[in-house]
Structure 1
Amino acid sequence: MTPNSSPADLSAFWMPFTANRDFKEAPRLLASASGVYYKDVNGRQILDGTAGLWCVPLGHAQPKIVKAVQDMVAKLDFAPTFQMGHPAAFELAERLKQYTNNRFSKVFYTNSGSESVDTALKMALAYHRARGDGTRTRLIGRERGYHGVGFGGISVGGISGNRKTFGSLLTGVDHMPHTHNLEKNAYTKGQPEWGGHLADELERIVALHDASNIAAVIVEPVAGSTGILVPPKGYLKRLRELCTKHGILLIFDEVITGFGRLTTPFAFDYFDVEPDMVTTAKGLTNGVVPMGAVFVKQHIYDAFMDWPTGIELFHGYTYSGHPLACAAGLASLDIFENDGILEHAKGIAGYWEDAVHSLKGLPHVVDIRTIGLIAGIELASIAGKPGARAFDAFKQAFNDGILIRTTGDIIALSPPLVFEKSHIDELIGKLSGILQTLD
Structure 2
Amino acid sequence: MSDTNITTEQLQEWDKRYVWHPFTQMQDWEREEPIVIVRGEGSWLIDSEGRRYLDGVASMWTNVHGHCRKELNEALKAQVDRLEHSTLLGLASEQSILLARRLAGITPPGLDRFFYSDNGSTAMEVAVKMAFQYQVHRGRPERTRFITFKNAYHGDTLGTVSVGGIDIYHATFRPLLFETIQAPAPYCYRCEHGCASPAVCGMQCLSALEALMEEHGPACAGLVIEPLVQGAGGMLVQPPGFLRGVRELCDRYGLLMIADEVATGFGRTGRMFACEHENVVPDIMAISKGIAAGYLPLAVTVTNDQVYNAFRGDYAELKTFFHGHTFTGNPLACAVALKSLELFERDNLLETLQTRIIRLAERLARLTQLPHVGDIRQCGLAAGIELVEDKSTRRPYPWELKTGIRVCLEARRHGVFSRPLGNTVVVFPPLAITEDELELLMDGLERSIVAVTGE
Work out whether the TM-score is over 0.5. yes
Q: 1:386: how far off?
A: 4.9
Per-residue deviation, residues 375-395 of structure 1 (Å, max 9, x unmatched): 110011565435611110011
Q: Match for residue 417 of structure 1?
A: 431
The alignment partner of 1:31 has SS state of strand
Select the residue among 88, 95, 103 that pairs with 1:88.
95
Structure 2 residue 65 is matched with structure 1 residue 58:
yes
The alignment partner of 1:217 has SS state of strand
Equivalent-residue separation in structure 2 for 1:183 and 1:78 (angstroms): 47
Q: Counterparts of 1:230-249 in structure 2 under 5 Å?
A: 230-249=237-256
Q: 1:193: how far off?
A: 3.1
Q: Match for residue 218 of structure 1?
A: 224
Q: Match for residue 444 of structure 2?
A: 430
Structure 2 residue 230 is matched with structure 1 residue 227:
no
Q: Match for residue 300 of structure 1?
A: 307
Q: Match for residue 349 of structure 2?
A: 341
- Letter matched to residue 123 of structure 1: M
Structure 2 residue 9 is matched with structure 1 residue 9:
no
Select the residue among 322, 328, 339 that pairs with 1:331.
339
The alignment partner of 1:139 has SS state of strand
Work out whether residues 188 and 198 of structure 2, in 8 Å CA contact, stay in contact via their aligned partners in 1. no
Q: 1:200: how far off?
A: 2.4
Per-residue deviation, residues 205-259 of structure 1 (Å, max 9, x unmatched): 22332x2210010011110111111111221111111100011000110101000
Task: Point out the more displaced range, 115-124 or 163-172.
Answer: 163-172
Q: Counterparts of 1:183-262 in structure 2 under 5 Å?
A: 192-197=198-203, 198-209=205-216, 211-221=217-227, 222-262=229-269
Structure 2 residue 30 is matched with structure 1 residue 24:
yes
Work out whether residues 59 and 416 of structure 1, in 8 Å CA contact, stay in contact via their aligned partners in 2. yes
Per-residue deviation, residues 35-79 of structure 1 (Å, max 9, x unmatched): 000111211110111111110011111111111111111110110
- Letter matched to residue 148 of structure 2: G
Work out whether residues 144 and 221 of structure 2, in 8 Å CA contact, stay in contact via their aligned partners in 1. yes
Structure 2 residue 174 is matched with structure 1 residue 164:
no
Change (3 A) 1:101 1:183: closer
The alignment partner of 2:286 has SS state of strand
The alignment partner of 2:131 has SS state of helix
The alignment partner of 2:367 has SS state of coil
Select the residue among 70, 74, 87 that pairs with 2:81.
74
Change (3 A) 1:21 1:74: same
Change (3 A) 1:305 1:77: same
What percentage of residue pairs aligned between the two structures are identical? 32
Q: Match for residue 278 of structure 2?
A: 271
Work out whether residues 195 and 235 of structure 1, in 8 Å CA contact, stay in contact via their aligned partners in 2. no
Change (3 A) 1:387 1:168: farther
Task: Point out the more displaced range, 172-181 or 316-325.
Answer: 172-181
Q: Match for residue 388 of structure 2?
A: 380
Q: Match for residue 415 of structure 2?
A: 401
What are the ranges of 5 or more consecutive residues in structure 1 without an aligned counterpart?
185-190
Equivalent-residue separation in structure 1 for 2:364 and 2:110 (angstroms): 34
Q: RMSD of aligned C-alpha atoms?
A: 1.9
Change (3 A) 1:62 1:387: farther
- Letter matched to residue 5 of structure 1: T
Equivalent-residue separation in structure 2 for 1:271 and 1:50 (angstroms): 26
Q: 1:308: how far off?
A: 4.4
Work out whether residues 49 and 402 of structure 1, in 8 Å CA contact, stay in contact via their aligned partners in 2. yes
Equivalent-residue separation in structure 1 for 2:190 and 2:209 (angstroms): 23
Task: Point out the more displaced range, 19-28 or 237-246.
Answer: 19-28
Q: 1:180: how far off?
A: 2.0
Q: 1:414: how far off?
A: 1.1
Equivalent-residue separation in structure 2 for 1:431 and 1:324 (angstroms): 36
Equivalent-residue separation in structure 1 for 2:70 and 2:214 (angstroms): 54
**TM-score, length of structure 1 as denominator length:** 0.94
Change (3 A) 1:151 1:430: same
Per-residue deviation, residues 362-410 of structure 1 (Å, max 9, x unmatched): 1310111112111110011565435611110011112321012211100
The alignment partner of 1:136 has SS state of coil
Q: 1:4: how far off?
A: 7.4
- Letter matched to residue 208 of structure 2: E
Q: Match for residue 194 of structure 2?
A: none
Work out whether residues 259 and 285 of structure 2, in 8 Å CA contact, stay in contact via their aligned partners in 1. yes
Q: 1:178: how far off?
A: 2.0
Change (3 A) 1:45 1:194: farther
Equivalent-residue separation in structure 2 for 1:342 and 1:307 (angstroms): 44
The alignment partner of 1:368 has SS state of strand
Q: 1:183: how far off?
A: 6.9
Work out whether residues 206 and 245 of structure 2, in 8 Å CA contact, stay in contact via their aligned partners in 1. yes
Change (3 A) 1:307 1:399: farther
Q: 1:170: how far off?
A: 2.9
What are the ranges of 5 or more consecutive residues in structure 2 without an aligned counterpart?
192-196, 390-395
Work out the number of aligned pairs and report it: 432
Equivalent-residue separation in structure 1 for 2:324 and 2:190 (angstroms): 45
Select the residue among 93, 98, 106 that pairs with 2:105.
98
Work out whether residues 37 and 45 of structure 1, in 8 Å CA contact, stay in contact via their aligned partners in 2. yes
Q: Match for residue 353 of structure 1?
A: 361
Q: 1:361: how far off?
A: 1.6
Q: 1:356: how far off?
A: 1.7
**TM-score, length of structure 2 as denominator length:** 0.91
Structure 2 residue 325 is matched with structure 1 residue 317:
yes
The alignment partner of 2:238 has SS state of coil
The alignment partner of 1:438 has SS state of helix
